A and B are shown apart, each in its own frame.
Chain A
Amino acid sequence: MSNTQAAYLAHHFSDAEQQRESAKLGMWIFLVTEILLFSGLFVFYAVFRAWNPDMFINAHRFLDVRLGALNTIVLISSSLTVALAIRSLQLNDQKNAGRLLLTTILLASVFLVVKYFEYSHKIHLGLLPGKYFSFQGIEGTNPHVFFSVYFVITGLHGLHVIAGMLVISWVLLRTWQGEFSSEYYTPVENAGLYWHLVDLIWIFVFPLLYLVG
Chain B
Amino acid sequence: MTQHNPQSTNHVLPLKVYFAVGAALFVLTAITVGVSFIQFGAFNMVIALLIAAVKATLVALFFMHLFYDNKFFGAILSISLLFVAVFIILTMYDTEKRAAIYQEKGGPIQKEAVIYQEKAP
Q: List chain A positions with a Cβ less than 8 A from chain B.
A: 4-5, 15-17, 19-21, 24-25, 28-29, 31-32, 35-36, 39-40, 42-43, 46-48, 50-52, 65, 69, 72-73, 76-77, 79-80, 82-84, 87, 90-91, 130-131, 141-142, 144-145, 182-185, 189, 192-193, 196, 199-200, 203-204, 206-208, 211-213
Q: List chain B positions with a Cβ less than 8 A from chain A.
A: 1, 4-7, 9-10, 12-13, 15, 18-19, 21-22, 25-26, 29, 32-33, 36, 44-45, 48-49, 51-52, 55-56, 59-60, 62-65, 69-70, 72-73, 76-77, 79-81, 83-84, 87-88, 91-92, 95-96, 107-108, 110, 114-115, 118-119
Do the beta carbons of A25 and B115 come within 8 Å of each other? no
Do the beta carbons of A204 and B52 come within 8 Å of each other? yes
Cα of A192 to Cα of B62 in the assembled complex, Å: 12
Q: Which of A4, A91, A189 contacts B12 (CB 8 A)?
A: A91
Q: How far is the CB of B79 from chain A (nearest CB, A)?
A: 8
Q: Which of B4, B81, B88, B96 contacts A5 (CB 8 A)?
A: B4
Cα of A85 to Cα of B102 in the assembled complex, Å: 56
Do the beta carbons of A90 and B6 come within 8 Å of each other? no
Cα of A65 to Cα of B48 in the assembled complex, Å: 14
Q: Which of A72, A196, A206, A211 contacts B59 (CB 8 A)?
A: A196
Do the beta carbons of B77 and A31 come within 8 Å of each other? yes
* Contact partners of A206 in chain B: CB under 8 A: 52
Do the beta carbons of B59 and A200 come within 8 Å of each other? yes
* Contact partners of A207 in chain B: CB under 8 A: 32, 36, 48-49, 51-52
List the count of A-B residue pairs having beta carbons below 8 Å apart.
155
- Chain A at the B interface: SS class: helix
Do the beta carbons of A211 and B115 come within 8 Å of each other? no
- Chain B at the A interface: SS class: helix
Cα of A72 to Cα of B12 in the assembled complex, Å: 27
Cα of A149 to Cα of B60 in the assembled complex, Å: 26
* Contact partners of A182 in chain B: CB under 8 A: 5, 7
Q: How far is the CB of B33 from chain A (nearest CB, A)?
A: 5
* Contact partners of A31 in chain B: CB under 8 A: 77
Q: How far is the CB of B106 from chain A (nearest CB, A)?
A: 10
* Contact partners of A17 in chain B: CB under 8 A: 6-7, 9
Which residue of chain B is the closest to A185 with respect to CB atoms? Answer: B7
Q: Which of A28, A40, A199 contacts B77 (CB 8 A)?
A: A28
Do the beta carbons of B15 and A87 come within 8 Å of each other? yes
Cα of A50 to Cα of B76 in the assembled complex, Å: 30
Q: How far is the CB of B41 from chain A (nearest CB, A)?
A: 11
Do the beta carbons of B91 and A48 come within 8 Å of each other? no
In the A-B complex, the 7 residue pairs with the closest CB atoms: A16-B6, A211-B36, A207-B48, A32-B80, A39-B84, A80-B22, A83-B63
Q: How far is the CB of A65 from chain B (nearest CB, A)?
A: 7
Which residue of chain A is the closest to B48 with respect to CB atoms? Answer: A207
Q: Which of A29, A42, A131, A196 contacts B88 (CB 8 A)?
A: A42
Q: Which of A50, A90, A196 contacts B64 (CB 8 A)?
A: A196
